[in-house]
Amino acid sequence: MKTILYVGWALSLIDLTDILEVILILIIYAHPYPEKSLVNQAMLERVSSNPDIVIRSLYDLYPDFNIDVEAEQRAVDQAQLLVLQHPMYWYSSPPLLKLWIDKVFTHGWAYGKGSVALKDKSLLWAVTTGGEHDHFQIGDHPGFSVLAQPLHATAIYCNMRWLNPVVVHGAYAAAPDSLHSQIEHYYARLASWKED
C-alpha cells in the first residue's frame, strides 16, 4: 500500500509497511496551507532528522477531507507518542484536525468497553500562535491550561498520557533568535519525550 507521508520538507511516497516497526513518534500535522507555512515548516524540517518520527500532513493527504480512517488508525497503532501539530486558528485547531479526531477516535477503538488502542500512549499538542506569550496571560486572553482543555480531556478519556504542550509564540513578529530557540525546544522535547 502506498501512502503519502510528509517527511521533512519533501512530499514522498513511502510504503507504509516498510516503516510499521519503526514509528515511535507520529506527528499528525494540520496546516491548511502547508506550502505557505513558515514556522510549522521550520519545525518539521528541524525534527525530521529524528529517525523515530513519521509525519502525516493531513491537508496534503486529504484535500477533500475524505479521511482514510483505517490507514490513520494503523499509523496511530504503531506510535508510542502522538503529536498533534498545527497553527492556532481562532484559539483552536484548523478544521481537518478536528475532523481527524472525530473520525479516527472511534468507539471500540479509542474509547468504550475494552478499547485499548490509545491506552498508555502519550499525547503532545504542538501549536504555533501569532500571539506573543503575554497575549495568553490569564486576565487578557485565556492561557494554555484553558485552551488545552478539550484535548487534555480527550487524552484522559482515551487513557492517554498528557504531556505539557509545546507552544511556539509570535509567528509573525518574534525575533529570529526567539523562533530559533523555540524550535530547538520542540526538537529537544521530541528527542526526550520519554522522560516527560
Annotated binding site for FMN: 31, 37-40, 88-91, 128-131
Q: Taking Cα atoms as reference points, which of 72, 132, 120 lies closest to residue 96?
A: 72
91 binds ligand FMN (CB under 6 A): yes
Pick from 51, 70, 90, 195: which binds ligand FMN (CB under 6 A)?
90
Residue 16 beta carbon to ligand FMN: minimum distance, rounded to whole angstroms: 26
Distance, CA of 27 to CA of 97 (rounded, Å): 12
Question: Which listed range, 2-10, 33-41, 113-121, 187-195, lies at the site for ligand FMN (CB under 6 A)?
Answer: 33-41
Pure H helices in the chain: 16-19, 39-47, 58-61, 69-78, 95-104, 144-147, 149-157, 176-191
38 makes contact with ligand FMN (CB under 6 A) = yes
The residue from 16, 80, 117, 130 that contacts ligand FMN (CB under 6 A) is 130
DSSP labels, 139-186: TTS--HHHHTHHHHHHHHHTTPEEPPPEEE--TTTS-HHHHHHHHHHH
The distance of closest approach from Cβ of residue 150 to ligand FMN in the complex, given in angstroms and rounded to an integer, is 14
Task: Yes or no: say if 100 and 84 are a contact pair by the CB < 8 Å rule.
Answer: no
Q: Which of 89, 111, 162, 187 binds ligand FMN (CB under 6 A)?
A: 89
Which of these ranges, 21-29, 100-108, 126-134, 143-151, lies near ligand FMN under the rule CB under 6 A?
A: 126-134
Cell numbers linked to 95: 478544521
Residue 65 near ligand FMN by CB under 6 A = no
Residues lying near ligand FMN in the complex (CB under 6 A) are found at 31, 37-40, 87-91, 128-131, 171
